[in-house]
Amino acid sequence: MNKIFSALTALIFLISPAQAKPVVNVGGYLFAPYVNLTDEGLFQGFTIDLIAAFNELQAEVEFQFVNTSIENRYQAYEIGRFDMMIFESPIWGWQNFDTSFIPLDIIDGEVFITLRDSEKNQDYFASFNDKSLSLVSGYHYQFADWNTNSHELGINFDIQFVHSNSASIESVLKGRADVAPVTQSYLQHYLQVHPKARSQLLISDRLDQAYTHSILLSPNSIVSTNDISNWFNQIRKSGRLKRIADKYNVKVE
């Protein structure tokens, strides 16, 4: 009996979770093409592919995606649901939080779209006072002074709120809104999948905002900014970053 017990104890020790790698939780919210949801309910996108690249590069920790929402990400960060978030910006509501930001040479931004007709040109995007807008709830837009308060935005603009870039594009195509700001990389992806929409849309030459993405990292994380920077640079030098970026129509410097 003792021999059997000893053998079982040894086996349990070998497969004990204590032997697993430490986990770094990486928060993310629906923000195509960085995080998107398939029809089967699976998360995909640049963030998910980059997490896989981090995990395949090193064996010290396991990076694990944690879903949150645009509005709730600040509270989730405060209570420690995640220690890291890829593709964030310090100006997107993080000014009063204890964070570090690791700059990435990855560029994106928002352009404006409207239904094309013979009377519209680039001047159409000069003012939104007499136009209805489709905005993604919780997104920060420069033309709205980064305000995400739906009540205050509703006072200053004629707005309908949606939950994704895709819904913003569809609202313009279906005539439910005059104008929508859309993430530039996602718009290019959408037009590849729906090529007929290209001739239907007038796209602004100017950007609402352009941003160079950063990685948010908590000072309480088990990995350091140097760790993340070193691993990210290795992914870049290997060419994998460029391959992932090209997949999602994102520009890498």
What's the pLDDT tens digit per position in 108-143? 999 999 999 999 999 999 999 899 999 999 888 999
Claim to verify: residue 215 and residue 232 sit in the same structural domain: yes
Return the percentage of the chain with pLDDT > 90, whole number. 75
Domain boundary residue, one of 193, 209, 225: 209
Claim to verify: residue 58 and residue 181 sit in the same structural domain: no
Claim to verify: residue 80 and residue 199 sit in the same structural domain: no
Residue 16 domain-assigned? no
Claim to verify: residue 94 and residue 163 sit in the same structural domain: no
Buried b (16+ CB within 10 A) or exposed e, 111-139: bbbbeeeeeeeeebbeebeeebbbbbbbb
Average pLDDT over residues 223-232: 97
Number of domains in the chain: 2
pTM of the model: 0.81
Claim to verify: residue 103 and residue 216 sit in the same structural domain: yes
pLDDT value of residue 11 = 46
Claim to verify: residue 205 and residue 227 sit in the same structural domain: no
Residue 201 domain-assigned? yes
Claim to verify: residue 51 and residue 134 sit in the same structural domain: no
CATH assignment at residue 101: 3.40.190.10
Return the percentage of the chain with pLDDT > 70, whole number. 92
Residue 13 domain-assigned? no
Domain boundaries, position 58: 22-107+211-252
43-48 own/partner pairs: CB under 8 Å, 24+ apart: 43/67, 45/248, 46/86, 46/87, 46/244, 46/245, 46/247, 46/248, 46/250, 47/86, 47/87
